[in-house]
Chains A and B, each alone.
Chain A
Amino acid sequence: MSPQYFEDIEIGSKRNAGSHTFTADEIIRFAKKYDPQPFHIDAEAAKTGPFGGLVASGWHTVSMWMKLTLESRQLDGNPGSTVRAGVSPGFEDLRWLRPVRPGTTLFYTSEVVEKVVLKSRPEWGLVKSRNEARDGSGELFMSFIGKGFVARRS
C-alpha cells in the first residue's frame, strides 16, 4: 500500500488495530511507575476500592491503542507515513467506561469521522478518528476522538 495522503483518507473508513490481553503483572508495572493509586498496584487493597479488585490504569489502556495502531500500520506496509503523519495536537472526549481487569482482552478500532482543512497549515490536514476498545462480546470499554495531522498531496 502506498503512503496515504490527506486526500486519500475517506470519512467512515475503519481500521482494526488488533487486540491485547492485560495481565496483572503488566497492569501493576505500568501503574507503579505512572499511576500508583491503590486499585492499580495492589490486588489486596483493590478489593475494598471502587472497583472491587485490581484494574488497569486508563492511561495504560489508551497507550495500548497507540501501540497496536502503529503495529497495524506496519502490517499495511505503510511505516513511512509515521514520520509525516504521526504528529497529533491532542484528543477529545476520552471515556473509560468499564474497568479493565487482569485477563481482559480488548479489541481496538479506529474510524475516520472528520477531515479538517487547515488555513494556517496548508501543507497539512487534520484527521479526526473515533477510537474504541471493546471486549470479545462487544462491550465498549474505552473511546476517544483522536486527532492527527496528515500531509496533503499538493
Chain B
Amino acid sequence: MLHFEDFQPGQMFDCGTYAVTNEEVFEFAGEFDPQPHHLDEEAAKQSMLGGLSASGWHVCAMAMRLACDGLLLKAANRGGSRVEETRWMKPVRPGDALRMEIHIVGLSETASRPEIGFVKMEWRLFTAAGHVATMIVTPRIAKR
C-alpha cells in the first residue's frame, strides 16, 4: 500500500490499456453527451473531429478507471477534489485502445491536515498509434 511518503516527482506508473468499444462509446454518449459527432457516423464526418469519437467526458471516465486499477486502489488513497486542467488533444475513436501513464509531478502538504498530503499527477493517455490523446493534471489526496 503506497502512502504519501512513497511518492516522488519523476515517478511513472504504467496503468495499462482500456479497449474503447463502439458499444461503450454509444452507451456513454447516449446517456451523457448525445451530440452527433459521438453518435452519428455521417454527421461525425462533417464535424471538426472528422469521424466518430468518444465523448471527452467518457475519456475522463476511462482514465479514472485506468487510474483506479493501475495505482489508486493500491495506494492509501483518500480521493481527489480538483482537476487543474484537462486537454482533449486528439479524438479517441471507437476500436482504439487507450494506454495511460501516470507521472508524479509534485508533492504538497497542508498544516491544517497533517494526516494527508497532495500528490500532483499528470495522467497521459495515448492512442494505440502512440499519439497523446488527452492530458489530465490532478492532485490526489494520499494518507501519510
Q: Which A positions have Cβ atoms within 8 angstroms of B?
A: 30, 33-37, 39, 50-51, 57-59, 62-64, 66-67, 70, 82-84, 86-97, 124, 144, 149
Main SS class of interface, B: mixed
Additional pairs, 10, CB under 8 Å, beyond known A34-B64, A86-B36: A35-B61, A39-B79, A50-B78, A59-B60, A66-B57, A84-B47, A86-B35, A90-B56, A94-B83, A97-B81
In the bound complex, do residue B81 and residue A96 qualify as a contact, i.e. CB atoms below 8 Å apart? yes
19 examples of A-B residue contacts, CB within 8 angstroms: A34-B65, A36-B68, A37-B77, A51-B79, A63-B33, A66-B33, A67-B31, A83-B35, A86-B36, A86-B37, A86-B47, A88-B88, A90-B86, A91-B83, A91-B85, A92-B86, A93-B85, A94-B82, A96-B81
Q: Give the most central of A70, A82, A96: most B CB within 10 Å.
A: A82
Q: Which B positions have Cβ atoms within 8 angstroms of A?
A: 31-37, 43, 46-49, 55-57, 60-62, 64-65, 68, 72-73, 77-89, 141
- Nearest chain A residue, comparing its CB with the CB of B69: A36
Bound complex: CA A62 to CA B63 (Å): 14
Bound complex: CA A57 to CA B83 (Å): 13
- Nearest chain B residue, comparing its CB with the CB of A57: B64
In the bound complex, do residue B79 and residue A89 qualify as a contact, i.e. CB atoms below 8 Å apart? no
Bound complex: CA A152 to CA B62 (Å): 33
Q: Report the minimum CB–CB distance from B43 to chain A (whole Å).
A: 6
